[in-house]
A and B are shown apart, each in its own frame.
Chain A
Amino acid sequence: MSLRTQELLLNVGPQHPSTHGVARFRVWLDGEVVTNLELVVGYLHRGIEKLAETRTYTQVIPLTDRLDYLCSMSNNLAYCTAVEKLAGVKVPERAEYIRVIMAELQRIASHLMSVGFLLNELGAYYTPIIYCFRDREKIVDLFEMVSGQRMMYTYLRIGGVSQDLPEEFIPALKRLIVDLRKAIEEYEALLSGNEILIARMKGVGVLSPELAINSSASGPVLRASGIKWDIRRAEPYSIYDRFKFEIPTANNGDCYDRYWVRIEEMKQSLNIIEQALKDLPAGEICAKVPALIRPPRGEAYGHIEAPRGDLGFYIVSDGSIAPYRVHIKPPTLINLTTMKDLCVGWKLADFIVIFGSIDVVLGEMDR
């Protein structure tokens, strides 16, 4: 007599400790091994694209904060870049430098969360994530200093930023850079060489360069597969062509490489901030734009290198005070399309780690 066996269909999410919100997967398991996987999206859909059509151009900025709530500054920057392209607004020098500083600080904050949550999913009982929170907190303090908010900053405006840097900001930022360098060294010492961490992540969930390109993956996920593509270099927006920085890439495309690329990117972001701080000019912080912007009829696509990848805003104007159509290209949704190829054949525990290493934020995926 033989035992009857069958595949187990497991619903991971929308309520699950490591779905980063409300992602849902239907996972078919043979014992512990994943044989098939299906992503179900839409649990956090708030209709942000549609809501944007009923607001003026400036009023859309708070909506973009709520897309990827771990990197609101980057979302603001992507949206403003697109609108400025559409309306032909020239941003003052000082505002550009402030924007770069904010975007790079936001990248560090976001990568800190990413590394922390990845380690949590590896089962390191909350210690790494609280260390990461400790350092992110200092960045959030700076954001609070400039914008008055700790999460939904709404700091950027079309044509510049909403208010100038306060006096105490620059000394605080200089102290922060020293602290963060030390903290990143600490993470590398504590995490990167850990035997269990390597055993769990090296070679797990390999994304081949071909598949990465064909699925139009972007951000650290793409660069971990060995492809040197960073919009800050490939299509420089804002003033990124003035800074010297490396684009870290890795060769294997596994979870460890995705983790490693994020750690290296944080160091590069610190370099960019230091350079921007050195050259920060005085002057206007916002271009002269009318309170009700009426861009000419037409369309524009602006995209930036957000912490999670290529974040794009496609805006169509009919000449009125509100956009006719706003479309958001979210990097997390596109990076997640390869989940099945990455996970099939690995264990249930690996599936969670692969998902964490892609680093998603559901607010952006479901919009």
Chain B
Amino acid sequence: MTLLNQFIQWLDNYWPHWASYLTAAIIGVLIVVIFVVLGIIVVIYLERRLLGRFQVRLGPNRVGPEGIFQPFADAVKVLTKEDIIPAAADHWVHWLAPVVSFIPVIMVFAVVPVASGAIFADLNVGVLYLAAVSSLSVLGLFMAGWGSNNKYSLIAALRSVSQMVGYELPIVFSLLAVVAAAGSMSLNRIVEVQAAVPMFLLQPLGFIVYFIASLAEINRSPFDLLEADSEIVAGVHTEYSGMKFAMFYLGEYGHAFGASCIIATLFLGGWQGPFLPGFLWFLIKALIVFFIMIWIRATMPRVRVDQLTAIGWKLLLPLAILNLLIVAMEQIFWPGVFPWVLVGINALAGLALVLLIGRTVTIRGGRVEV
């Protein structure tokens, strides 16, 4: 029973059911949107300050104490900027692209439980919904690249598609292993079964595969090929300015925050944790994941486009399938075994597989004869 359902039941005492359903839905959507926007503001601030720390500089610290109002100042600046549409752009596609890429980001949060019962829609196919919705925003990026009528944007758009084919399969296979272990596709249920042992200990291999593949999904370093500023200027954002650019920017950070939340939910035990309230545990876990993403961004160079595809197909996909195989066999043959035994076995198996496949597969790529 989620909090929203309890709210609807309480409203039913006063109104017809459809009216209370509608009211609850609107209030729920508002809460989700506010949560997402606040989350984005927090992660943008964190990213800029922490990147500054990593790069032996200070980061923004002028607006407000420790610069906490910097995102708001940036928002005001971006809102007052001129909105430019290139003369030869495909007007409607160019206009629609930021919207198409931002909306799925908010939709992802509909199935994420931020605390016990605090979930907008406890879908029984939550994981399926997640896989479907989170890959939708690529469509917006492709539209932006195509509609801008700019060669750099076009290259970025084609990169986004080839990239997506590479990372989406490993993501789905590592999600399947989680579902197999939890026995349910509902994210609420997945969090509940992690009360004893969090999933990243049970399936270290699946966790690593999912983490790397989701870095590719949210276009973050070292897989930030879409906006590789040293190669293709700003990628799909090249021809965007003002509020439309801000939509992409917010969407990007929203996507990253969403991915952190999903990893915290699926692998780190979501809101489960001692002493502190569940909501805080959830936020702490999500921000730790995001911190690791910032750390990677500050440290790693970018891979090439063919290398990303090679990593996806040759490295991550076999590992994800083998992980699914191991987890499924354990579920069938030792259904009631003490979980810490599985933790040891899976850690060793994961290490062995990573070493084996990492040694045999080459991702370097070479020269093409022309």
Contacts and interface: CB of A to CB of B under 8 A. Distances in A.
Q: Do A and B come from one complex?
A: yes
Contact of B301 (A31, A122, A347): A122
Residue among B57, B232, B306 with the highest chain A CB neighbour number at 10 A: B232
Contact of A345 (B56, B307, B368): B368
B258 to A, nearest CB: 21
Nearest to A121: B230
Interface residues of A, number: 40
A202 B224 contact: no
A119 B370 contact: no
A126 interface: yes
B301 A200 contact: yes
A32 B231 CA distance: 11
B222 A196 contact: yes
A180 interface: no
Interface size class of B (residues with CB under 8 A): 35 or more
Given A125-B297, A199-B307, A345-B369, A130 B229 contact: no
A32 B301 contact: no
A127 B366 contact: no
Contacts of A292: none
Given A119-B301, A197-B301, A127 B232 contact: no
A94 B307 CA distance: 54
Given A10-B151, A196-B303, A127 B54 contact: yes
Interface in A18-42: 18, 29-35
Contacts of A349: 228, 231, 302, 304-305
Contacts of A121: 230
Contact of A344 (B57, B159, B370): B370
Contacts of A125: 51, 221, 297-298
Contacts, number: 101
Interface string B301-335: 11111110000000000000000000000000000
Nearest to B223: A123
A125 B230 CA distance: 10
A51 interface: no
Interface in B151-197: 151-152, 154-155, 158-159
A161 B353 CA distance: 64
A134 interface: yes
A349 to B, nearest CB: 5
Interface of B: 51, 54-57, 151-152, 154-155, 158-159, 221-222, 224, 228-233, 297-307, 363-370
27 contacts: A8-B155, A16-B233, A35-B370, A120-B230, A122-B230, A122-B301, A123-B221, A123-B302, A125-B221, A125-B297, A125-B298, A127-B55, A130-B55, A130-B56, A131-B56, A196-B300, A196-B301, A199-B365, A344-B370, A345-B368, A346-B368, A347-B305, A348-B231, A348-B232, A349-B231, A349-B305, A350-B304
